[in-house]
Structure 1
């Protein structure tokens, strides 16, 4: 036989499932809207903006670090930028 506590528990479970489903649906809709806006922004920027970004490197591609003779910082020699000092070998 169904008691009041069982009916109350059933109503709470149904309510939790209902509000949980609404929350998941809302989160998915926001994610879709953000992805669509990002696609619109990248398409509106044109080819100049897309070519300015460096191409992504493969996941297994790595460089050995070398110590800069001028500032002493360890940098990747093929992708290093100048440290701002006049004798920096990576600023050329």
Structure 2
């Protein structure tokens, strides 16, 4: 029984040794390229939010919306 165990260990050692010797070198990630200087970065659009006075759901505010306006959901009706 010990002969079989030693044979299996020897085969495993040779197998993993062979794989270790013949492994491929780790590839390095490509160097980062410089972004094009002629294209400006896209601007982020930011909008202010305010809570609905009735239900508290946040909604977009804007200059064309009157103060105290509800969010417009059917279950949100001012009392």
TM-score, normalised to structure 2's length? 0.32
TM-score, normalised to structure 1's length? 0.29
> Does 1 or 2 have the higher relative contact order (CA < 8 Å, sep 6+)?
2
